[in-house]
């Protein structure tokens, strides 16, 4: 269907009709948020899924991202002979850009694609139709708990990512780059402000919303058996990565400039 | 009382139902038969409000399905139990949770009462001790039995079956047919069965309607339709490849 | 006995260790299939074409905003030191070394990687892999080796395209939105970047490309049953590709650029 549509309408026609359907999906999600029953149990399950499945991987990945950031920062700052200031660079770049982005990417890749695959499977095996016939609204039952869970959990996830990447950067600074550890930490403390922290968490929350609505949307519109589930999952990842970095510009401009 | 009034539905250029009208009798088993791709699944989806007709209306007990608000539609749907093609059991829940799901959603029964009802319904479909199995551990026939238990757990007025014997071996298919007969006898509610299995049609149907090219070309009691001289109907019943129903392979434009 | 117990405990505590072994075995098989005749040249060309067509737009859409954000942040920071001209120098180095290879790799993983995982898992689920074996066609040669070679060759190209898109995105923000001097931006663009950065970035991209495609093929090849199996394979391939890219990237950075530390 997706390929056929692209051929018929051209890439841009397809892009706009998909954007329109996604907008409609968002409107429906918002409507049912206030309209029908709220499934608190599902919300807690989904929060648990995001927390327990994504956070261990995320901690490991953010550690490596922090290590890399520290090495790169050192190489660049050395050009000015200011390699001792790398702690400042690590602290600021991490909380403003990297931690929210990496948290969004990993939660998107792990929890988001899983949502797309699960909802897609439910769609192609008629389970969503079955929900509707039993009289349970699939938006209230499937979509809203997932989106709400991500929006609520992501700020904490960002803090975890931040902690691990800063810790790993510190270890690289001391062990690999031979910088003074306490001077590094002082620079980090001096440059983290509560304001930046909160703004980083807001970014994370927005990314969580983007990732989950796109995953649920892609799964919800899956079509055509096992193949369709694969296509839905694939589309979900590409769309969420693109949407995330795109909104990141505006968030940076609005929050930090 | 279920009535289709001049219902039309098409997808793009493809006309699936074309000005279709019929009344489905209460308390009987009505089979809707026809070759593949003649809109049998859409017939059901229109009835339970999963799709809206382009023209015409579907009326269930005085409610026009396509004009109901969401809230009303969800109320009317409580009259229905639907058995989907491969069961459509929720694979995140085990058998017992699947059957109990409508009760937990729509009633305020205690856990003990729910367990009793679920055990009773599972016994009725011949799966008495299997509450703790998971859908992916069950064979196709067993999944359909569990799905039937879930469909009848709310004591619906109308039970809809989408291809109950598809993808089953002959023995299992026959056992599902017997189960449908037995359930009809016990529940006395309206059964609507969509199928292309002729043997089971003659076995379980009280009324038969035949869909072909978007129209209902035959509707009546089992014997009436069986004797009908229409050549499409007779070709379908005789399982003969010669006749008006033809498989047309697609032609590539070069 | 003791060894078996230890192995069991390790497998329990870190479930990925046994699958690492399977991935290694799978990669070696695929590598052997790629270097021994017969090689499916036509499939390779088809895969290269498909990768280019499907990945270019996602990479452009992701890297332009990334370049824009870097410019946005660094214009502000460098203005404090009165060194706004260095925005473009930093942007170019960051793009060549880190952002383009990493984000390019991630987009190849999410577009082509997920697509390949879904496709091969679909072949597995519908019995096509078995059908190939029965027709005595080695699926590792016919299906997997060409895709891996395509990943090796195309990912660096896409990364290079992405690098310049990122710089263009940075130009739009720095010059057109924030009003930096256009001449200074272009003049300082290659003040810091050296050939090492360019080649190092492209080597990174090639490593990521091969890694992503091997991981995706592996998950597709050993997919479980039904629609759920295909979804799971796609999901796993994306997660494992993204995680491996971000982890390996640190070691590659140290190896390629860390000689003057």
Mean pLDDT calculated for residue range C114-139: 87
Mean pLDDT calculated for residue range A150-160: 94
Q: How far apart, in Å, are the Cα atoms of A161 and each of A47, B33, C188, C241, C246?
A: 17, 59, 34, 19, 13
Does the pTM surpass 0.80? The reply is yes
Contact A84, A190 (CB under 8 A): no
Inform me whether the C-beta atom of residue A22 falls under 8 Å from chain C C-beta atoms.
no
Q: Which residues of B touch A125 (CB under 8 A)?
A: 86, 88, 91
Which of A76, A105, A249 comes nearest C72 by C-beta?
A: A249
Q: What are the two backbone dihedrals, phi and then psi, of residue A20, each rounded to the nearest 5 degrees?
A: -65, -45
Inform me whether the C-beta atom of residue A48 falls under 8 Å from chain B C-beta atoms.
no
pLDDT score recorded for residue B95 = 93
Q: How far apart, in Å, are the Cα atoms of A158 and each of A130, A197, A211?
A: 37, 9, 14
Which of C235, C250, C254 comes nearest A113 by C-beta?
A: C235
Reported as a pLDDT band with limits 50, 70 and 90, residue A11 is low
Mean pLDDT calculated for residue range C138-142: 88
Residue A5 scores a pLDDT above 70: no
pLDDT score recorded for residue B166 = 80
Q: What are the two backbone dihedrals, phi and then psi, of residue C181, each rounded to the nearest 5 degrees?
A: -75, 125
State which residue of chain B sits closest to A35, comparing Cα positions. B71
Higher pLDDT, A74 or C85: A74
State which residue of chain A sits closest to C255, comparing Cα positions. A71
Residue A236 scores a pLDDT above 90: yes
Inform me whether the C-beta atom of residue A1 falls under 8 Å from chain B C-beta atoms.
no
CA distance C254 to C250: 6
Span C167-184, pLDDT tens digits: 999 999 988 988 888 888
Which of B48, B105, B150 comes nearest A136 by C-beta?
A: B105
Residue A4 scores a pLDDT above 60: no
Residues 6+ apart with CB under 8 A from B120: none
Residue C220 scores a pLDDT above 90: yes
Least confident of B156-160, B246-250, C23-27, C201-205: B246-250
C249 contacts A64? CB cut-off 8 A: yes
Count the neighbouring beta carbons within 10 Å of the beta carbon of residue C176. 10
Least confident of B177-186, C7-16, C67-76: C7-16
Strand partners, B2: B24, B60
pLDDT score recorded for residue C13 = 74
Residue A127 scores a pLDDT above 90: yes
Q: How far apart, in Å, are the Cα atoms of A5 and each of A2, B13, C43?
A: 5, 15, 25
State which residue of chain B sits closest to A28, comparing Cα positions. B70
State which residue of chain A sits closest to C233, comparing Cα positions. A230
C261 contacts A60? CB cut-off 8 A: no
Structure-token match 């739009």, residue found = C172
What residues in chain B have per-residue pLDDT under 50?
Answer: none
pLDDT score recorded for residue A1 = 41
Q: What are the two backbone dihedrals, phi and then psi, of residue A154, each rounded to the nearest 5 degrees?
A: -55, -40
Distinct helix (H) and strand (E) counts, chain C: 12, 0
Contact A158, A55 (CB under 8 A): no
Reported as a pLDDT band with limits 50, 70 and 90, residue A2 is very low
Listed by number, the residues of chain C in 76-95 with a beta carbon closer than 8 Å to a beta carbon of chain A are 76, 90, 93-94
Inform me whether the C-beta atom of residue B68 falls under 8 Å from chain A C-beta atoms.
no
Q: Which DSSP category does B242 fall into?
A: S
A132 contacts B105? CB cut-off 8 A: no
Q: What is the mean pLDDT of chain A?
A: 88
Mean pLDDT calculated for residue range A241-248: 92
Q: Which residues of C touch A71 (CB under 8 A)?
A: 250, 253-254, 257-258, 261
Residue C259 scores a pLDDT above 90: no
pLDDT score recorded for residue C19 = 77
């Amino acid at each position: 269907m997706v390929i056929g549509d692209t051929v018929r309408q051209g890439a841009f026609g397809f892009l706009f009709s998909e954007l329109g359907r996604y907008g409609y999906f968002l409107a429906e999600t918002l409507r049912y948020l206030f309209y029908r029953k709220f499934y608190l149990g599902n919300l807690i399950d989904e929060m648990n899924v995001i927390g327990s499945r994504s956070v261990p991987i995320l901690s490991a990945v953010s550690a490596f991202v922090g290590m890399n950031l520290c090495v790169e920062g050192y190489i660049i700052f050395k050009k000015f002979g200011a390699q001792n200031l790398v702690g400042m660079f690590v602290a600021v770049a991490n909380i403003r850009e990297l931690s929210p982005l990496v948290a969004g990417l990993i939660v998107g890749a792990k929890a988001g694609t899983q949502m797309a695959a699960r909802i897609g499977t439910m769609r192609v095996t008629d389970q969503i139709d079955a929900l509707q016939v039993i009289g349970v609204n699939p938006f209230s039952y499937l979509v809203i708990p997932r989106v709400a869970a991500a929006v609520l959990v992501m700020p904490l996830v960002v803090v975890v990512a931040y902690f691990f990447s800063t810790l790993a950067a510190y270890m690289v600074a001391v062990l690999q780059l031979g910088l003074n550890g306490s001077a590094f930490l002082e620079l980090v403390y001096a440059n983290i402000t509560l304001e930046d922290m909160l703004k980083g968490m807001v970014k994370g929350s927005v990314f969580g919303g983007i990732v989950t609505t796109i995953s649920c949307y892609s799964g919800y519109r899956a079509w055509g058996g096992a193949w369709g589930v694969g296509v839905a999952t694939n589309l979900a990842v590409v769309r969420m990565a693109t949407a995330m970095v795109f909104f990141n510009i505006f968030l940076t401009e609005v929050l930090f400039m | 009382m279920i009535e289709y009034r001049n219902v039309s539905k098409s997808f793009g250029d493809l006309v699936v139902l074309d000005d279709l009208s019929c009344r489905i009798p209460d308390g009987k088993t009505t089979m809707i038969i026809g070759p593949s791709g003649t809109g049998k699944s859409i017939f059901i989806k229109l009835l339970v409000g999963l799709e809206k007709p382009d023209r015409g209306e579907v009326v269930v007990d005085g409610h026009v399905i396509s004009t109901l608000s969401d809230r009303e539609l969800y109320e009317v749907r409580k009259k229905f139990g639907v058995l989907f093609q491969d069961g459509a059991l929720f694979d995140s829940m085990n058998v017992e949770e699947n059957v109990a799901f409508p009760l937990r959603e729509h009633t305020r029964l205690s856990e003990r009462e729910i367990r009793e009802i679920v055990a009773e319904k599972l016994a009725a479909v011949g799966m008495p001790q299997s509450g703790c199995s998971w859908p992916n551990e069950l064979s196709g026939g067993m999944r359909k039995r569990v799905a039937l238990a879930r469909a009848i757990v709310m004591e619906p007025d109308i039970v809809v079956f989408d291809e109950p014997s598809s993808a089953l071996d002959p023995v299992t298919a026959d056992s599902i047919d017997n189960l449908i007969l037995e359930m009809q006898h016990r529940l006395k509610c309206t059964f609507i069965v969509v199928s292309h299995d002729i043997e089971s049609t003659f076995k379980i149907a009280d009324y038969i309607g035949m869909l072909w090219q978007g129209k209902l070309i035959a509707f009546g009691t089992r014997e009436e339709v069986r004797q009908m001289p229409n050549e499409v109907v007779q070709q379908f019943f005789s399982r003969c490849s010669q006749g008006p129903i033809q498989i047309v392979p697609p032609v590539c434009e070069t | 006995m003791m060894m078996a117990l230890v192995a069991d405990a390790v497998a329990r505590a870190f479930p990925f260790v046994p699958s690492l072994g399977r991935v290694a075995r799978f990669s070696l098989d695929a590598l052997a299939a790629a270097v021994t005749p017969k090689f499916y040249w036509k499939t390779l060309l088809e895969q290269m074409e498909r990768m280019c067509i499907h990945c270019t737009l996602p990479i452009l859409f992701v890297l332009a905003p990334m370049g824009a954000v870097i410019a946005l942040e660094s214009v502000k920071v460098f203005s404090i030191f009165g060194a706004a001209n260095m925005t473009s120098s930093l942007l170019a180095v960051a793009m060549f070394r880190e952002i383009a290879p990493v984000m390019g790799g991630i987009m190849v993983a999410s577009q082509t990687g997920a697509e390949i995982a879904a496709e091969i898992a679909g072949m597995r689920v519908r019995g096509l892999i078995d059908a190939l074996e029965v027709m005595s066609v080695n699926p590792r040669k016919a299906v997997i080796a060409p895709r891996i070679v395509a990943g090796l060759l195309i990912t660096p190209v896409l990364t290079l395209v992405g690098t310049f898109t990122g710089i263009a995105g940075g130009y739009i923000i720095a010059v057109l939105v924030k009003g930096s001097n256009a001449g200074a931006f272009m003049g300082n663009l290659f003040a810091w970047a050296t050939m090492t950065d360019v080649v190092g970035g492209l080597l990174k991209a090639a490593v990521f490309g091969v890694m992503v495609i091997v991981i995706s093929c592996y998950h597709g090849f050993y997919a479980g049953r039904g629609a759920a199996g295909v979804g799971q394979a796609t999901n796993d391939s994306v997660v494992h590709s993204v995680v491996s890219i971000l982890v390996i990237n640190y070691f590659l950075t140290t190896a390629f650029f860390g000689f003057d530390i």
